[in-house]
């Protein structure tokens, strides 16, 4: 995606970016997982985006795929 990297993106839980529609969008932030590794990758979506008591964080597509795979492995206890 990386289309908005010409502008400065926010860091989750440090910057509060609210658009004109009064909503927070994942695309306005760096991926939290990549940012921890000093990589400035634009987030694409919040994950996990389900209606449960788990906090959502902005992640890039690659990290979401990795997290989904990790979740599936842990659910089925695959080696």
Residue 3 pLDDT:
53
Quote the number of domains for the chain.
Answer: 1
Distance (Å, rounded) from C-alpha 24 to C-alpha 45? 11
Does 15 have pLDDT greater than 50? Answer: yes
Answer left, alpha or beta for residue 44, where phi above 0 means left and psi between -120 and 50 means alpha: alpha
Enclosing domain of residue 21: 1-79
Q: 8-12, 46-50, 57-61: which has the minimum mean pLDDT?
A: 46-50
Residue 9 pLDDT:
92
pLDDT mean over 49-73: 85
Read off the pLDDT band of 1 (50, 70, 90): very low
């Amino acid at each position: 995606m990386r289309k908005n990297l010409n502008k400065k993106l926010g860091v989750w839980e440090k910057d509060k970016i609210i658009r004109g529609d009064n909503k927070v969008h994942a695309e306005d932030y760096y991926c939290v997982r990549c940012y921890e590794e000093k990589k400035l990758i634009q987030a694409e979506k919040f994950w996990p985006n389900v209606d449960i008591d788990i906090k959502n964080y902005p992640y890039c597509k690659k990290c979401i795929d990795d997290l989904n795979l990790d979740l599936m492995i842990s659910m089925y206890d695959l080696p």
